[in-house]
Each structure stands twice: as C-alpha cells, then as structure tokens.
C-alpha cells in the first residue's frame, strides 16, 4: 500500500537545470541597457522588469519542485526556494512602485531612478519584509533555549539558539539605525551606501539559507515512504553509561519499529534492520549492539538484524550501511530512521555516498528541537564552502556594482 505524498521524491531521473535563468538574466540586462539608451517609455521598462522578475520566480519554483522530485536531499532544494522568496520580495517592491505611480504619488520622470534604487536596496527590502519572521523565530529560539538550559544544563551547544537569535536581531537593528540619512561628501555617502548594501547582502544570504533549510527540513520530515522497503537503517547516537540506548536513541529505534510493524501488517514484507553506530571511547559497547539488544527485546528475529558497528559519525553510518546493502541487493529500497531535526542533513550524507534513501524522524521534546535545528543549520553551512562562497561573493559584487551605478546614474 503506497502512502500519499504531495510531491513524489525521486520520481524523475534528470536534474533540473537553472542555466535558463542565467541566460534570461543576461538577455534582460542587455535589453534593459538598450531601452535606457534609446529612452524607451519608463512605464514600459517598469513592466518589462516586472515580467522578468515574475519569470525568474516561476523558474525558481519549477526548479524547486523538480529538485524535490529528483533528489530532495540537496543544497539546491534550499537555494531554489529561498531565492524564490527573495525574488518575490523584489516583485512586491516593484509592484509598490507601480501602485505609487498610478495613484499619482510619483512623477513618471522619477520612475527609472526609483525603480533602480529599489533594486539596489532589494536586500534591505527583504530584511524589512522578513522582520516579523525574524522576531517570531528569535523569540522562539530564546524561549526554547531557556527551557533547554533549565532541563539539560548550560553549555556552548545549548546556547547556539540564543547566539543565532541575537545575531539576527542585531542585524535588523544595525540596518534600522545604520541606514538613516547620512551626510558628507559624495565619496563618503557612496562608501556608506556600499557598506550598508554589502552588509544587507551577507545578511540576506544567511537569512535565505535559514528559511530554505527550515522549509527543506519540513518537506522531508512530512514524507511518508511506501511500505515496500527492504532495509531500515537506524542512525546511532550516544548511549547511557551502562551501554543502553538513551531516550533520543530509543525514539529512533521506536519510529523504525513502528514502520516495520506497519509494513509487515500492510504487505507481509519484513524489512531488515541495520542498526548503525560504533563504540565510543566512553561507551560500554557499540551503539549498534545496544540497538540490536533493544530490537531483540521487542520481538524482532535476529536474522532480520544486520549490525554496522564501525561508524563514528553520520557520514560513516551511511557509507558502511551502503556497503552492506550493496553487497546483498544493489537495487534495494532503503529508508533510515533518525530524529526529525536530523533527517534532512542525514539525507545529504546518504546521497553523498550514493545511497538513495529517504528518512523518517522521531519526535523529541519541543524545547530541544529549535536548538538542534540551529546545530543542523551550522553543520550544513560548514559543508560545500566553495559553492557557498561563490554565491555569497557574487551577491556582494552585484550589490557593490549596483550601488556604484546608482550613484553614477
């Protein structure tokens, strides 16, 4: 029995391409320059820009859906949806200008200058539009972190949510108080505007990454795998002092057991468990052994359990589990069980070792989730640094050039 999902994962075999967005952008840049040089009606230019932005928004949404259908566990999933939202904010700002124009609040002769000014300050506009999200998100991080510290104790890791919340609110305050009217020489004003726009571009990038990561995480944890799986990998985590599973690890095993029993009842097919996790220096036995003991106590036949006890992190969990599965059935259908906040990043690790698997996640205490999500976000940022540096660097260059052009214009 196949469960229903809004979008089917891994249902297409061709990776969505976004080169068409670059081609369209280059073509529009040339066309825009020609229209300005030929002194085309500014209202026509305005609607041409709006049409271009709308086309890019549609293309990004299409790429986002295509990426989910091709491989949801990808950085592209984050980028496509987050920059689609950013593009939407630029569309809204341009529509605001149109509203001012048709209500007689803006002379036509000022239209091009205003339009270009809004484009140059689009990162600032996005920060303003997203302020309600930032406030709600930051307050949620503070409240959950306070509860987490009361329950789990004070540590740097347990303060990550508060640190991120302060950085996000501090960034918004810096924009509000730093972007006030500035007087001085033309050069001083230009430097001030460049610095503000560069700061906004950096803030925009990381804010988009946060929003995109949250959306991507919500999509993958809402996924319902079909009841036709061959293997269930259970990702390990730290054990109790006596070598038994912690409540967090029990949650992962229990969600795997729940799926196992549901599939067995629905289809009669019993998937094989692969409890994955080695033995830490401070652990009485391997995480894999602790999970196997727990599974046996729950009535799972020993022949339905294959231990993977060499791994020390999520990457190795997936790598060594994939080797076991590939030696038995290279075409096997696989899912993995972990905690909800860890599903997306675990999927990134799985796809990196060529393991096509979807995740199911166990619940955790409400106050633990936000801080753990921040940890996952930080972990995601530390990977693929080159790709992220290229995108962030390109954004900074665009806003610097745009600011200089605005002053020249």
Task: Verify that 51 and 184 share a domain, yes or no.
Answer: yes
CB 165 within 8 Å of CB 158: no
Question: How far is C-alpha 113 from the geometric centre of its chain's CA atoms?
Answer: 35
Average pLDDT of 360-368? 90
Which one, of 102, 94, 101, 82, lies nearest residue 121 by Cα? 94
CB 127 within 8 Å of CB 207: yes
Round the average pLDDT of the chain to a whole number and report it: 90
Instruction: Evaluate whether residue 90 is within a structural domain.
Output: yes
Q: Which of 23-37, 260-274, 291-305 has the lowest mean pLDDT?
A: 23-37
Distance CA 175, CA 170 (A): 9
Instruction: Evaluate whether residue 378 is within a structural domain.
Output: no
Q: Is the pTM of this model over 0.75?
A: yes
Instruction: Evaluate whether residue 116 is within a structural domain.
Output: yes
Question: Tokens 């503070």 map to which residue?
Answer: 142
Task: Verify that 47 and 170 share a domain, yes or no.
Answer: yes
Q: Which residues contact 142 (CB under 8 A, 6 or more apart)?
A: 161, 162, 165
- Using pLDDT thresholds of 50, 70 and 90, give the confidence band for residue 107: confident
Flag whether pLDDT at 1 surpasses 60.
Answer: no
Quote the number of domains for the chain.
2
Q: Which of 299, 332, 365 is the last residue of a domain?
A: 332
Instruction: Evaluate whether residue 177 is within a structural domain.
Output: yes
pLDDT at 295: 97
3-class DSSP assignment, residue 172: helix
Which one, of 148, 170, 175, 174, lies nearest residue 161 by Cα? 148
Task: Verify that 88 and 23 share a domain, yes or no.
Answer: yes
Question: Tokens 């599973």 map to which residue?
Answer: 245
Query: φ and ψ at 8, to 5 degrees?
Result: -80, 125
Distance CA 258, CA 193 (A): 57
| 334-339 β-sheet, strand order | 272-276, 231-235, 334-339, 357-362
Distance CA 348, CA 377 (A): 12
Which one, of 338, 344, 345, 335, lies nearest residue 363 by Cα? 338
Taking 3-state DSSP, the helix, strand and coil percentages for the chain, each rounded to the nearest 5, stand at 70, 5, 25
Task: Verify that 204 and 257 share a domain, yes or no.
Answer: no
Task: Verify that 271 and 181 share a domain, yes or no.
Answer: no
């Amino acid at each position: 029995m196949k469960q229903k999902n809004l979008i089917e994962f891994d249902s297409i075999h061709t990776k969505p391409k976004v080169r068409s967005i670059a081609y369209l952008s280059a073509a529009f840049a040339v066309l825009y320059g020609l229209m300005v040089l030929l002194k085309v009606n500014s209202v026509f230019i305005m609607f041409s820009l709006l049409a271009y932005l709308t086309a890019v928004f549609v293309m990004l949404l299409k790429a986002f859906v295509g990426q989910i259908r091709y491989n949801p566990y990808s950085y592209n999933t984050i980028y496509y949806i987050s920059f689609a939202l950013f593009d939407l904010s630029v569309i809204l700002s341009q529509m605001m200008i149109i509203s001012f124009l048709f209500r007689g609040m803006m002379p036509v002769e000022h239209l091009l200058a205003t339009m270009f000014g809004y484009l140059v300050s689009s990162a600032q506009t996005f920060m303003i539009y997203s302020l309600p999200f930032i406030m709600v998100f930051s307050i949620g991080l503070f409240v959950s972190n306070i509860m987490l510290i009361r329950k789990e104790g004070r540590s740097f890791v347990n303060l990550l949510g508060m640190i991120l919340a302060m950085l996000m609110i501090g960034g918004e305050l810096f924009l509000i108080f730093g972007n006030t009217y500035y007087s001085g020489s033309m050069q001083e004003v230009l430097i001030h505007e460049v610095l503000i726009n560069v700061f906004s571009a950096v803030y925009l990038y990381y804010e988009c990454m946060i929003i995109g990561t949250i959306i991507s995480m919500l999509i993958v944890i809402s996924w319902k795998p079909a009841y036709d799986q061959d293997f269930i990998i259970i990702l390990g985590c730290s054990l109790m002092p006596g070598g038994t599973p912690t409540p967090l690890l029990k949650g992962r095993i229990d969600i795997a057991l729940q799926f196992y029993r549901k599939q067995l009842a629905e289809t009669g097919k019993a998937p094989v468990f692969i409890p994955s996790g080695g033995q830490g220096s401070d652990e009485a036995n391997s995480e894999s052994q602790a999970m196997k003991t727990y599974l046996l106590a729950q009535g799972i036949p020993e022949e339905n359990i294959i231990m993977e006890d060499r791994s020390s992190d999520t990457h190795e969990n997936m790598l060594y589990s994939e080797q076991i599965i590939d030696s038995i059935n290279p075409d096997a259908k696989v899912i993995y069980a972990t905690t909800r906040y860890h599903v997306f990043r675990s999927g990134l690790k799985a796809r990196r070792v060529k393991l096509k698997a979807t995740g199911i996640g166990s619940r955790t205490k409400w106050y633990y989730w936000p801080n753990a999500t921040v940890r996952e976000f930080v972990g995601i940022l530390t990977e693929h640094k080159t790709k992220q540096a290229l995108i962030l660097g390109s954004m900074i260059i665009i806003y610097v050039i745009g600011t200089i052009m605005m002053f020249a214009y």
